Structure 1
């Protein structure tokens, strides 16, 4: 069934608040088929399930501090019916193999998986919210509410305190909110779903509620032994980042603290990112043993890994009791 196009006159009226220099003769390009997302540009109209959206710009990737990697399949747009800004995720298929501790994971983007999870977590405070529609070519388009706030990594980097002060004053509260965030992933696992791309920049700190909220769960992965294993490694890496008040980089220690660098053994580094320290007690001797033992589960020297998120949560809750505050 073909979606009826709104008139150009109506579109000019609806878009005028956001396009101040709009000509009375301007003709909008309209798309009901989003397959060629590269062709959809600023000022175009997406007509999805009969609703018009004014495209503003492409989203950018913020991973590892790089803010200039444009994601052409993710559009920031104005919902012309209510005036709200939305994130519109178009269909983009990507596939790669990740290797963690010698275990291969075949990873790929799955718009339908993200659509399923959006339905599942509707109303859940620790996940991004939105809905999905099919365009005229049956592409699964996800329409996401914007969460205003920083990434978890940016929030931690903005804390102006030495590590020991951070450990005593900020870390207990941060761990409490992180535990609630991990419980949200447990909710997915209990329902047979996984996040698929757990990273510290996929947790946003909602500026209104201060809750930690998961975004971007369109990655899926295949692994015959433990379908949740990739999520668990991601949670461990986030925990190391939180406890360390950022990454403790081996190269930085080599340049700035040679005595500490010389104490590091090969098995003390992160099992995924070998340029990061996992055995943080070497640098921060006041870390409780149970908490550091958790971090060591994600070190190159570990021979025991978490099989379930329940095991991870149990240890995390017990470790939290060792912190005052």
Structure 2
């Protein structure tokens, strides 16, 4: 078996700084591979097909209309005929869909996007290219959402929904429910993108993101998100119930009486206070807020036994020790005592099996 490579262009612009990178790119862009398994044994042809399955190439086989030795010998010269000529990615593209969905459903959003990106580039059929690109838009939407880029996520959802017929080709039995879910998630991403201050939806998004990090075993990242959720929850409560719109600039007159004297010398020159997480919850407690009292009852105040203190000693905060699953679980459990949120995610991101 043999593989012949037909060169379209041999020009490489030399740049000492990026020579190897340019050489690699030139090999991809300036060469087209034709995999010709004419004359190969069955084992040789199978091996060549396995090697070439990752290439953007065409398969070709040259047979003939007439052979010597009563039709069982070699092709008579001048009677050759090409019997097949196709791009294997027009078939393997659908395998890429299955692989990408499997990776995506295990939280590998960037990896799934990379798989689909390669499949889009290698596919030859326009319809298949479009279907793969539409699925990649779905994956890119969730990848952006997972990075808190809600505006970008909304744009990718729009791109995917404009080509919903392509989703029907990939998920013929789940099209209606999938499109409805994508529309709901597009609207949710749009709501989150429009918020310029902490909201209840924003707190919920942080918690769900933390759960995804915990599912990956990235407990330091998960706890960092829960910490921000505790802080954001206090900010939402102060704004909605007590008229404190900005915890970065709180006036002395906005503080409860129990804290005005204690903090009188803490304010800046214009008597403004910047409230961190613990201070924000102290203000809520001082305002006799039920949520603020519960925060202290749960043992979350700045004391040695608080899981929030354990977070402060993590390698992503002020210490050098990684956070483990026990700290995450304690924080997650206590946060659910403060905010109305289901323990499991009702809005599943997982894609149906194609």
TM above 0.5:
no
Structure showing greater radius of gyration is 2
TM-score after normalising by structure 1? 0.32
Higher fraction of strand: 1
Q: Which is bigger in relative contact order (C-alpha 8 A, separation at least 6)?
A: 1
TM-score (norm 2): 0.30
Report which of the two has the higher share of helix. Answer: 2
